[in-house]
A and B are shown apart, each in its own frame.
Chain A
Amino acid sequence: MKIVLRFAFMLAVAFAIVFSIYNVIVLAAAPPSLAINIEHAGPRQMEDTTQRALARDYAAAWQAMTQALDQNRADLLGASFIGTADDKLTATIHEQQKSGLHQHIVDRGHTIGAVFYSPEGSAIELHDTAHIELQLMDGSRVVHSEDATVHYVALLTAAENSWKVRVFEAVPAF
């Protein structure tokens, strides 16, 4: 009987460890869910491959941004952000570091409309309605917590083999 209990306990512990690792590695790394509508993108028509690449790269950008703002690591931004978007996020992180602040964002998904695709195919503008759970932290203390729906205007430009976010601004409404 003792052996059975012991075995059950060890099994439970092993399961808990595996579950925790799964949560940390798999779920934390899971990209946010995106629904992209390209009907109003123009003047250039968007190809399927471009739409897929856009979704992949924009999701990666959000993932990088949430991690960078939470861990105060500007080095995570470079693969997905460029230009003023990169400058502003980097500045945010430096200011957070100075004050001991950080932001914890849980990404609940995005409804995205592509509103512009430049004639020569090098720039795409998105209207992103993001559903997020936002916690503004001072060390381990929560300063502010909210479930928010935030509208973002994002301008992405074609880089060597991916799309990078060049402009990223929250707006009151579209």
Chain B
Amino acid sequence: MTTASKERVIKYAGMMAIGLLMVCCFEIAMRATDLNVPATVAAGSGLSTPTSGSGSATLYVYGPGTAIKRKVELGQPIQLSADELQHAGRYVISLDDNRATFFVTAGPVQSIAFLARPSRVPADTPNVITGTAFVFDKYQNLVLQPQPVKFELNVNGQTVTRTETTKNGVAFAKLDSSKKEGPAQFVASSGPASVRRIVQEVASDPCSIRMTVVRDKNGILARTDPIHDCAGNPVPDGTIVTFTSTDAHGKSTVDARIKRGIAEAQLPLSNDATISVASGVVAGNEIQWRGGQ
């Protein structure tokens, strides 16, 4: 091969290489896609993002509750439906060599998870009822934007209301129990959502205990007057009342439950005894028994 022929071959080869490179660049340019997705999307609102280029490509979307793989035509917008973007969280979208991440955030409050404790509380006690409310949107995503939550406690027409603002999706309140016993309706509400719980308010410890004693055929019968707490609520049946008789022979103790508001106990017969009564930390009156006098 002459030198001129060699030069011609090299020239043609170079031109072919440049041509091939240009074709590749054109192909890449035609297929190139830019993914312009917003940083955040509201749950259940769907998403449409344009693509550039031509031909088809595989779209991947990974996110909470979602894993999508489908063919899309470049140049046509990518559509992600409201159903595909229901769950709050981080999504990764991939199309050819382009990737983007975005977040789906919760929508408006639609439901509440409400924890009310305890289910039974003594009446007229401060800060004894607690309510904790978690706020969710219609897709059960935790709503992290601050939201007002109203806590309302209602017993026999007496209502206590407090409004708290959620922080990190949760609000809580501590409320006093009311003076009167009875079933309290404890309601937490935010926007259209409202949840009700029942808290049973019962009489607290007895305020005072007064008893009388009489002799009967089996010994000494000790009986209390109706027992109330300091707000006038009858102490619930079943509460233990302890009667104690002390004489020369020793001490006799009888634990009795309140029945229909009063408690009574049969104590051994004695001619000279000191009889006392108590319930919990509350002591009642003391009687010196002198053989029935």
Contact = CB atoms under 8 A, between A and B. Distances in A.
Interface of A: 43, 84, 87-89, 91-92, 95-96, 98-101, 103, 115-116, 118-120, 122-123, 125, 127, 134, 136, 138, 143-144, 150, 153, 155, 167, 169-172
Nearest to B132: A118
Given A91-B65, A95-B67, A150-B90, A169 B132 contact: no
Contact of B60 (A43, A98, A138, A170): A138
B168 A116 contact: yes
Contacts of B105: 171-172
A144 B93 CA distance: 9
Interface SS of chain B: helix, strand, loop or mixed?
strand
Query: Interface centre among A84, A150, A153, by most B CB within 10 Å?
Result: A84
Contacts of B87: 88, 91, 169
B92 interface: yes
A144 B144 CA distance: 29
Interface of B: 39-40, 58, 60, 62-69, 87-90, 92, 94, 99, 103, 105, 115, 117-118, 130, 132, 134, 136, 140-142, 144, 167-170, 172, 174
Nearest to A43: B172
Given A136-B92, A138-B69, A144-B92, A169 B115 contact: no
Given A95-B68, A150-B90, A169-B141, A123 B103 contact: no
Contacts, number: 109
Specify which of B90, B144, B174 lies most central, judged by the most chain A CB atoms within 10 Å of its CB. B90
Contacts of A101: 60, 62, 67, 69
B60 A144 contact: yes
B131 to A, nearest CB: 9
A143 B103 contact: no
* Of B65, B67, B134, most A-chain CB atoms within 10 Å: B67
20 contacts: A43-B172, A84-B136, A88-B87, A91-B66, A92-B64, A92-B65, A101-B67, A116-B167, A118-B130, A119-B130, A120-B132, A122-B115, A122-B117, A138-B58, A143-B94, A150-B90, A167-B169, A169-B141, A170-B89, A171-B103
Contacts of A144: 60, 62, 92, 94, 99
